[in-house]
Amino acid sequence: MTPETVTTIGQQALWTTMLIAAPLLLSALAVGLLVGIIQAATQINEITMSFIPKLLVIVAALIVAGPWMLSVIVNFTTQIFGQIPSIIL
């Protein structure tokens, strides 16, 4: 196993992690920004007002993007397991 192989596998793992985390993080960011603007406009500083909508949107995003996220991680795992014989030699 060469350092280039390890670097490539690490790069693929980080890219896969970013792809899987992006839908949840971006949806939480959008809702947090929207709730923050509403809180600033109305001067209501209630913690649960920002937490509950984020939680609901993350659950919805997980339901919508969950199958895609699962297929991405399964494809990555299958690819890594398929590369094991060539990596060992």
Which distant-in-sequence residues (6+ apart) come within 8 Å of 58 by Cβ? 24, 27, 28
Q: How confident is the model at residue 1 (pLDDT cuts 50, 70, 90)?
A: confident
Which tops the pLDDT comparison, 17 or 48?
17
pLDDT tens per residue, range 37-81 = 998 898 888 878 888 999 999 999 999 999 999 999 999 999 999
Helices (H) and strands (E) in the chain, counts: 2, 0
pLDDT of residue 50: 83
pLDDT of residue 45: 81
d(CA 71, CA 8): 21
Cα distances (angstroms) measured from residue 62 to each of 11, 25, 42, 74, 81: 24, 11, 30, 16, 26
- The answer to whether 16 touches 76, Cβ cutoff 8 Å, is yes
Is the sign of the CA dihedral 51, 56, 59, 61 positive or negative? negative
d(CA 54, CA 60): 10
